[in-house]
Amino acid sequence: SPQARELRAGVEAVEAETSGWSLWANPDASYSREGASVNQFWQIGQRLPLSGRLGYLRQAGGAAVSAAQSQSAFQRWQVVSAVRAAFYDVVAAQEREKVMRANLDRLAEITRILSEREKQGEGSTYDRLRAERERAEIETELLTSRVAIAQSRSRLAALLRPNTEPSGIVASGDLRIAADVLPVAELHKRALEIRGDYRAQEKEIEQFQFSQRAAQRLRVPEPSVVAGFNRAQVGPGMVSGSYIALSVPVPLFNDGRTEVARFRAEAERTQARREMLKQRIFAELSGAHSALQLQRAAADEYRRGLETQGQRLEQIAQAAYQEGELDILALLDAWRVSLQSKLRLLDLNAACKQAEIELERVVGEPALNRGVLP
């Protein structure tokens, strides 16, 4: 997917950049010719990194790459969480359509029966019209549910590979949630171990510490060696010879103090960010954990009430209508209450699933659904 390619390219860019931190300086080569007589010089110079600075820069580069990889892993999990949330939006929308279609089929059947009774003189026109009106209302709601399906499919397609046709997406899944939820303290401990953004800041601190040590080595002079060949005209003939020179810079004005101070401040700032992130993770975990528990409690309580009352109410209304004790309006009202109850339970289950996905997003891994990732 484009998201995965972007994340990989970001890590590769950091690897390419940091690989140049520990390279030797390029040698200098020069040629010169002086005077009216022939006096030629060929020379090459090389700075010798004897201070140990490149070793620290190499370690700083490794820490920077590790930080980029950890941050990439965290962003990848955010994308996975967004895909999961969009997927279960499609599942919930499809389930809503399925429930309403079943109710619509039942209304179509009773409308047919009422039409036949009306033709035979055994039923009233009012009953048929009322059933047809109820059927029209459900058909309108069904169209609305199809709009919701199309929108949820579009949101999911935006997160998948290019040119994915939203209309061709059919989500196969259910809204069942995990049985057990770990305590907040245990989830927080796991989040600090697994979350890529938190581990990335640890690596950034290491990077600045190594960079600080490398800056401290600026006070150690790194000599430069120059070797050359000289060819000159002396009298009527030409003479030649070689030479070698050694130069040592004197760290009089720039001994790395400003760089040391900068990297020390960067390390302290990253440490403060890491502490703030730790607190934010705990707060988000606590909120997501509480939301999931409350959503579960609401769904379980509503499900129990529906199992004990909803089905019985529908059966009583059906039997009473067949015995002539209730009119069609009472039966249709019972069916509508039953439909609304099923849709409400479906919404509660979908909210539970989204709360579960949010909790796992904050943790940084599918702590409640180990089968999500291979």
Q: For residue 371, is it within any domain? A: no
Q: For residue 278, is it within any domain? A: yes
Q: For residue 327, is it within any domain? A: yes
pLDDT, position 32? 87
Placement of tokens 């209730």 in the chain = 326
Q: For residue 211, is it within any domain? A: yes
Does pLDDT of 374 surpass 60?
no
* pLDDT confidence bin for 65, thresholds 50/70/90: very high
Phi and psi (nearest 5°) for 163? 65, 20
Q: What is the mean pLDDT of the chain?
A: 88
Q: For residue 310, is it within any domain? A: yes
Domain that holds residue 150: 2-363
**CA-CA distance, 325 to 255, in Å (whole number)?**
99
Q: What is the pTM of this model?
A: 0.83
For 226, residues 6+ apart whose C-beta sits below 8 A from its C-beta are: 43, 44, 45, 244, 245, 246, 247
* pLDDT confidence bin for 282, thresholds 50/70/90: very high
pLDDT, position 253? 84
Task: Give the other-Cβ count within 10 Å of 257's Cβ.
Answer: 13
CA torsion, points 287, 290, 291, 292, in degrees to nearest 10? Answer: 120
Phi and psi (nearest 5°) for 365? -160, 160
Nearest-CA neighbor of 303 among 177, 141, 165? Answer: 177
pLDDT, position 77? 93
- Among 103-107, 297-301, 320-324, name the one with the lowest average pLDDT: 320-324
Q: For residue 369, is it within any domain? A: no
Domain count of the chain?
Answer: 1
**Strand partners of residue 33:** 40
The per-residue pLDDT for range 97-112, each reduced to its tens digit, is 999 998 888 888 888 8
* pLDDT confidence bin for 79, thresholds 50/70/90: very high
CA torsion, points 15, 16, 18, 23, in degrees to nearest 10? Answer: 130
3-class SS letters over the chain: CHHHHHHHHHHHHHHHHHHCCCCCCCCEEEEEECCCCCEEEEEEEEECCCCCHHHHHHHHHHHHHHHHHHHHHHHHHHHHHHHHHHHHHHHHHHHHHHHHHHHHHHHHHHHHHHHHHHHCCCCCHHHHHHHHHHHHHHHHHHHHHHHHHHHHHHHHHCCCCCCCCHHHCCCCCCCCCCCCCCCHHHHHHHHHHHCHHHHHHHHHHHHHHHHHHHHHHHHCCCCEEEEEEEEEEECCEEEEEEEEEEECCCCCCCCCHHHHHHHHHHHHHHHHHHHHHHHHHHHHHHHHHHHHHHHHHHHHHHHHHHHHHHHHHHHHHHHHHHCCCCCHHHHHHHHHHHHHHHHHHHHHHHHHHHHHHHHHHHHCCCCCCCCCCC
The per-residue pLDDT for range 128-143, each reduced to its tens digit, is 888 888 888 888 989 9
- The CATH number assigned to the domain holding 139 equals 1.20.1600.10
Q: For residue 370, is it within any domain? A: no
Q: For residue 251, is it within any domain? A: yes
**CA-CA distance, 55 to 44, in Å (whole number)?**
25
User: How many residues belong to the chain?
Assistant: 374
Does pLDDT of 351 surpass 80?
yes
**Strand partners of residue 231:** 40, 240
